[in-house]
Structure 1
Amino acid sequence: MPPLPDPSEREPVRVLVVDDQELFRRGLVMLLGVEEGIDVVGEAGDGIEGTTLAISTAPDVVLLDVRMPKRTGIEACQSIKEAVPTARIVMLTVSDEEADLYEAVKSGASGYLLKDSSIDEVAQAVRVVADGQSLISPSMAVKLIDEFKQMSKPEREHVPGLRLTERELEVLRLVATGKNNREIAKDLFISENTVKNHVRNILEKLQLHSRMEAVMYAVREKLLDLP
């Protein structure tokens, strides 16, 4: 995972935990609560309560289960992003179904972790997405890359109306390989801030919500050359 600033040098990341499994949720709240630089501001047992709490607490990061009663995690993700656009969503689930991953990304999620992740991995994921980056479990990343390859096989066609510059396409291709901003900056001999600006411009031009969604769009529109 990408290196981040010392937690002592930044404001605590405010986290909301939404999961219908009480034992898992309480354990996660307790473990995250002792992590340096993370402040758990609330917990909820279903998607509706989670959305309400997100509106009242305005967290930096929301950890959402995918499958919950009353309102699913995917539906809650959409609702929270509409109500609190600054909130970053990380799906934390037992589901390793590609369909759930794609729906989560389309709904604006910035991360997708499986529940067999360690608490260190979850805490680091919280910090990574709070810093504006995206993250998915390695096993899901493999599935995503495989799907990218399948989607890329048809003959490529020009996409009318696309306004990405050559440099933005270079950045997008590197994002697709899983590289973080610092690694992309090193590869292209530009500053990390310049990379962030390029990523922001890419999202704005494509009217998308996250780096992962931008990559999925680019693959679907046959803009990337994946091995």
Structure 2
Amino acid sequence: MNIKIGIVDDNHFLTRAIQEKLSFFEDLSVRFTAANGKECIDKLEQSHNIDLILMDIEMPQMNGIEATSVIKARFPHIRIIMLTVFDNDENIFNSIKAGADGYLLKEVNARDLHQGIVETLNGGAAMNPSIALKTLKLLRNPVDFDARTSDDVKLSTREIEVLEQLSKGLNYNNIAENLFLSPSTVRKHIENIYTKLQVHNKLEAIQKAKSNNLI
């Protein structure tokens, strides 16, 4: 059995890392990679002979949750596993609502990733234990994410520092140098900021932070 995979992630290095993990298994083959949800959908329009997509969440143009919703409507046979850095409650909730078949963290090892893919194609749901636990908690105590007011927005001191640097037009590497962080840590902070502010890009984040007097 040859399982045909698509990888959607705007971080080229992470895409390569995922491809390397998958290369250990002869029953998997990566058919395409895309840098955002829109590019993924464009590629599926040309050929949707794909079994499963590994989908990042925070991406420009069209994020992973929006893309999942569109793909599930147009190509219901394709299974989708969210493969992301954070086990954020709202992302888990919105991913499941959009039709995602599983949710794994990017640090997952090659064997568990393979097992998750096979399980998902056999009708199961791939989930890290921490995510399964959060999903159970969300089911027991549902949160109406849409109804939350902007007053709930709380950023950590470090996230505010990152956002202030971002508002000055600095890139990830400059911010990392200024705050003595690694670029990947800066990226994680920015993903967290986007999630907390419920925005999809830098401009929206800066505008919302200013309107909430965060910066």
User: After TM superposition, is the score higher than 0.5?
Assistant: yes
| CA displacement, residues 9-66 of structure 1 (integer Å, 9 cap, x when unaligned) | xx21111000111001012123313312111111111111111223324310000001
Q: Which runs of 5+ in 1 are unaligned?
A: 1-10, 152-227
Change (3 A) 1:150 1:83: closer
TM-score, with structure 2 as normaliser: 0.62
The answer to whether 1:17 aligns with 2:17 is no
Taking the aligned partners of 1:79 and 1:14, their CA distance within structure 2 comes to 19
Report the secondary structure of 1:92's partner residue: strand
Q: Kindly provide the CA deviation profile for residues 112-140 of structure 1, in whole angstroms up to 9, marking residues without a partner as x.
A: 00112112111111111111211211101
Aligned runs of 1:198-209 on 2, under 5 Å?
none
The structure 1 residue matched to 2:23, chosen from 11, 33, 45, is: 33
The percentage of aligned residue pairs carrying the same residue is: 31
The question of whether the paired residues in 2 share the 8 Å contact of 1:65 and 1:93 is answered with yes
The aligned runs of 1:34-183 (5 Å cut-off) are: 34-55=24-45, 56-151=47-142
Q: Which amino acid aligns with 1:62?
A: I
Q: Is the 8 A contact 1:60 1:86 kept in 2?
A: yes
| Aligned Cα root-mean-square deviation (Å) | 1.4
Please list every run of 5 or more consecutive structure 2 residues that lacks an aligned counterpart in the other structure. 143-215
**Is the 2:117–2:126 contact (alpha carbons within 8 Å) kept by the matching residues of 1?**
no
Tell me which stretches of 4 or more aligned residues in structure 1 moved more than 4 Å.
none
Partners in 2 of 1:115 and 1:109 — Cα distance?
16
Q: Secondary structure at the match of 1:53?
A: helix
